[in-house]
Amino acid sequence: MLHSAALNSIPRTSGYFPKRPVPWWSPVCTTAVREKRAAFSRLRRNRGDPTLLEDFRRARARARRVLKEARRASWKAYVSSINTKTPLTQVFRRVRKMAGKFSPSSPPVLKVNGIKIMDGLTVANTMAEAFAKVSSRDSRPLAVRHELRAKERTVLDFTGNENESYNHIITLRDLHSALSLCGDTSPGPDNIPYAMLRHLGEEAISFLLAVYNRIWLEGVFPSGWRVATILPFLKPGKDSGVALNYRPIALTSCLCKLFEKMVNVRLVYFLERGDFLSPSQSGFRKYRSTTDALVRLEAAACEAFARHQHLVCVFFDLEKAYDTTWQYGILQQLHLYGLRGRLPRFLKEFLSGRSFSVRVGTTHSASVAQEEGVPQGSVLSVTLFAVAINAIASSLPDGIANSMYVDDLAVWFAASRMSVAERRMQLALDRVSRWTGSHGFRFSPSKTVAMHFCRIRGVHPDPDLFMYGHRIRCVEETRFLGLLFDKRLTWVPHLRTLKVSCLKALNLLRVLSHTSWGADRATLLRLYHVLIRSKLDYGCEVYSSATDARLRVLDPVHHAGVRLATGAFRSSPIPSLLVDANEPPLDLHRQSLMVRCWHRLHRLPDSLPCLAVSSDIMSQYYLLHSRAPWPFGFRVRKAMEEMGIDDYQICPVRVPRVAPWLLPEVFPCTCFTDKKESLPPPVARSLFLEHAFTHRETLPVYTDGSKSDSGVGFGVVFPDFCRGGRLPSVMSTFTAEL
């Protein structure tokens, strides 16, 4: 119904542009250019007419002004949408489009058995066959296939109590909440985008809710939701002639993804409330980030240096992680967690019977089956993959530490003798290899690397570790979650690479500072913050353990970025330059980020990262061994002491006992929209009495909070009693009123 209405009402583009398209063009620009050309035509027919000459000049000036304003407005709107995850190449591509330099992307050319394949349909079919082979059950070793098939003979019975909170029907509030989180992404095979769903009327929304609830209650999964369109994206630095060097991103139905958002909220709440996820897993979990895994590894390495130990760490790489995920294993884990009823039945239908076709340009391949794996680009895929790999940490021997961020896994062990560390790590590798084999995964021996963290003087051989009969390479430096670790933890390779990357990004500011549509100060400063300083900020809590002399190599990048954004002279003193731009020096900015990270980690006081940074056991070691680098926890405590910041107890974050979709809906008051200073007291009193009369059958509760030099206080007044108290002086008035 939606698709047919869209076909009848919304015009479709052909994909052919007679001229170079620019993203800032609008109907107003078309009108202005048309009027300018019409005025010029009249002037050409009546040469010498002063009135027509004046009309043409005005039309030309107006067209120039309209085009300039449209270009500036479009660029500012785009800049406001840029975030730290926006690739620099995408921003440069946008700049070229703004200038009218458009180069259409060419279709991929594959090379099979030395023969180039250029035909679109053949390329699409070749890629579809390659992707289908990866997710095929036959791609696994024979012994693994037999083991998994034996486990799959056990029928999982998800029948149970339908009255569990996660099995409740979908409400209109759930639908509106999920719809508000939807961005403007590409539609699936049904060609229904999120924008169309956001503009549905009340009657259509109610009908859509009824459809969702029927699917939820009856367990009938639409067949069109099982089909995906795969867009192949070349992986960075890979050969474009190999089909498996392309990352398959699945475009599924937006109607299905909207439903997935509502289901994912309930699934995540169930996993977090039951504490089923591994404590070492930080990927895509609330109040967690990649910094959690990084600070734990850095703390372990610094402790090993202070104790004069050898720390052996192995960084694992899963082969085709999402595409080879064992679907039955996901359902088996959820069944083991006690999930019953409608939610697991929906997940079972979501995973089974999936198929896809590959789109290359405007050509689609034949439909092929996806036997295993979860679709990349789906809402539920990340959560389901986390469930699939969750138990890998439990397979490790006692004393072996690990950290995970979705599929990025690091395992380490420290010992005074290399032989002990080598033996324990080999045992861990054997157990992890057996676990992955019994759950359908496989690590890549060529991409899995080991690193020997050591600062002990003398020659110390690297560990000999093996996996699947292959020797694991022991490297001097490797990248983990965006940071380049080196074996002595000097951070010199990372700082060098980071500086080169930031200097390339500075070229964008140099280009924009010489344009009429992108050179205003606020826009350039925002671009500097998003594209350059964000690179400097990421992981600074960890890499700031480098010496001050090594960290100072990043200062010229910071100064050059601020200088380009503000248009200051090259001879401007750096202190005055930073004051004018309201930018702190990098060392102070890093300390600020460290303090924020410290308080964020303490919102989860029982988490592994918080316990790692809060430990005081090694304090004397770090003070006695001045050459050993200080870990994040020790450094931030010293910085807080120097800045006079008290280590206040942070209010911990707990998973609420009541499911969020069962909480009563909050309706904010909209009658007091004006500022208090501009509202006369009689008018304010009248509005309050009207509001109180409207809600006369509810329980009135009055709150107030205030802050002064002596402290912060709050008060709560109920009809029968009142309560007040004092809060720490660092609290804000907003916190007091809450």
State pLDDT tens for residues 105-137: 667 888 888 888 888 888 899 999 999 998 888
Q: Which carries the bigger pLDDT value, residue 621 or residue 614?
A: 614
Would you state the pLDDT for residue 678? 76
Q: Report the distance separating Cα 486 and Cα 475, nearest Å.
A: 9
Would you state the pLDDT for residue 333? 94
Q: Helix, strand or coil for residue 401? A: strand
Tell me: pLDDT of 439 over 60. yes
- Taking the CA atoms of the chain, what radius of gyration do you get in angstroms? 30
Q: Report the distance separating Cα 391 and Cα 382, nearest Å.
A: 15
Q: Tell me, what DSSP letter sits at residue 245?
A: G
- Count CA atoms closer than 13 A to 592's CA, side-chain side: 8
Residue with tokens 């180039």: 116
Helix (H) or strand (E) holding 359: strand 354-360
Would you state the pLDDT for residue 296? 94
Q: Report the distance separating Cα 131 and Cα 243, nearest Å.
A: 8
Would you state the pLDDT for residue 628? 77
Number of helices and strands in the chain (H, E): 28, 19
Q: Report the distance separating Cα 647 and Cα 486, nearest Å.
A: 32
Confidence of residue 79 (pLDDT cuts 50, 70, 90): low
Would you state the pLDDT for residue 567? 85
Using CA atoms, how far residue 206 sits from 114, 183, 197, 202, 213, in Å, is 56, 21, 12, 6, 11
Q: Helix, strand or coil for residue 705? A: strand
* Residue 620 neighbours by CB distance under 10 Å: 10
Tell me: pLDDT of 643 over 80. yes
Average pLDDT over residues 444-460: 90
- The token duo for 443 is 């690590």
Q: C-alpha angle with apex 554: 551 to 560, nearest 5 degrees?
A: 155
Contact status, residue 428 vs residue 465, Cβ threshold 8 Å: no
Confidence of residue 513 (pLDDT cuts 50, 70, 90): confident
Q: Helix, strand or coil for residue 151? A: helix
Strand order in the sheet with 449-453: 401-405, 408-415, 310-316, 449-453, 473-474
> How do 363-364 and 470-471 pair as beta strands?
unpaired
Would you state the pLDDT for residue 94? 65
Confidence of residue 11 (pLDDT cuts 50, 70, 90): low
Would you state the pLDDT for residue 201? 87
Q: What burial class does residue 594 get, using C-beta atoms within 10 Å of its C-beta: 0-12 exposed, 13-18 middle, 19+ buried?
A: buried
Helix (H) or strand (E) holding 331: helix 327-337
Average pLDDT over residues 188-214: 90
Average pLDDT over residues 656-668: 85
Tell me: pLDDT of 140 over 60. yes
In sequence order, what are the residues at sequence separation of 6 or more whose Cβ sits closer than 8 angstroms to the Cβ of residue 280? Answer: 293, 393, 402, 403, 404, 608
- Enter the pTM of the model: 0.84
Averaged pLDDT of the chain: 87
Confidence of residue 734 (pLDDT cuts 50, 70, 90): confident
Would you state the pLDDT for residue 676? 73
Q: Characterise 361 by phi-psi region: left (phi > 0), alpha (psi -120 to 50), beta (else).
A: left
Q: Which carries the bigger pLDDT value, residue 422 or residue 106?
A: 422
Contact status, residue 186 vs residue 193, Cβ threshold 8 Å: yes
Contact status, residue 98 vs residue 519, Cβ threshold 8 Å: no
Q: Which carries the bigger pLDDT value, residue 568 or residue 11?
A: 568
Tell me: pLDDT of 629 over 70. yes
H-assigned helices in 443-573: 492-512, 521-527, 534-537, 540-543, 548-551, 555-566
Would you state the pLDDT for residue 732? 82
State pLDDT tens for residues 336-394: 999 999 999 999 999 999 999 999 888 899 999 999 999 887 899 999 999 999 999 99
Tell me: pLDDT of 525 over 80. yes
Confidence of residue 618 (pLDDT cuts 50, 70, 90): confident
Q: Tell me, what DSSP letter sits at residue 281?
A: B
Contact status, residue 717 vs residue 701, Cβ threshold 8 Å: yes
Q: What burial class does residue 191 get, using C-beta atoms within 10 Å of its C-beta: 0-12 exposed, 13-18 middle, 19+ buried?
A: middle
Contact status, residue 640 vs residue 467, Cβ threshold 8 Å: no
Would you state the pLDDT for residue 118? 84
Q: Report the distance separating Cα 4 and Cα 562, nearest Å.
A: 52
Q: Report the distance separating Cα 425 and Cα 418, nearest Å.
A: 10
Confidence of residue 209 (pLDDT cuts 50, 70, 90): very high
Q: How far is CA 342 from the centre of its chain?
A: 29
Contact status, residue 244 vs residue 221, Cβ threshold 8 Å: no
Tell me: pLDDT of 694 over 90. no
CA dihedral 520, 526, 529, 534 (to 10 degrees): -140
Confidence of residue 310 (pLDDT cuts 50, 70, 90): very high
In sequence order, what are the residues at sequence separation of 6 or more whose Cβ sits closer than 8 angstroms to the Cβ of residue 123? Answer: 107, 108, 109, 110, 117, 360, 363
Q: Which of 234-248, 251-265, 368-382, 511-525 has the highest mean pLDDT?
A: 251-265
Q: Tell me, what DSSP letter sits at residue 630?
A: P
Q: Helix, strand or coil for residue 59? A: helix
Average pLDDT over residues 40-50: 87
Average pLDDT over residues 129-150: 89
Q: Report the distance separating Cα 154 and Cα 157, nearest Å.
A: 9
Confidence of residue 88 (pLDDT cuts 50, 70, 90): low
Confidence of residue 22 (pLDDT cuts 50, 70, 90): confident
Q: Which carries the bigger pLDDT value, residue 249 or residue 10?
A: 249
Residue by residue, DSSP assigns 505-537 as HHHHHHHHTTSSSS--HHHHHHHIIIIIIHHHH
Q: Which region among 262-266, 352-356, 673-677 has the lowest average model confidence (pLDDT)?
A: 673-677
Would you state the pLDDT for residue 240? 84
Average pLDDT over residues 225-229: 91
Q: Report the distance separating Cα 15 and Cα 26, nearest Å.
A: 18
Contact status, residue 422 vs residue 307, Cβ threshold 8 Å: no
Confidence of residue 185 (pLDDT cuts 50, 70, 90): confident
Percent of the chain with pLDDT over 90: 44
Residue of 29, 630, 520 lying closest to 298 (CA atoms): 630
Would you state the pLDDT for residue 738? 74
Tell me: pLDDT of 95 over 70. no
Confidence of residue 649 (pLDDT cuts 50, 70, 90): confident
Q: Which carries the bigger pLDDT value, residue 106 or residue 219?
A: 219
Tell me: pLDDT of 701 over 80. yes
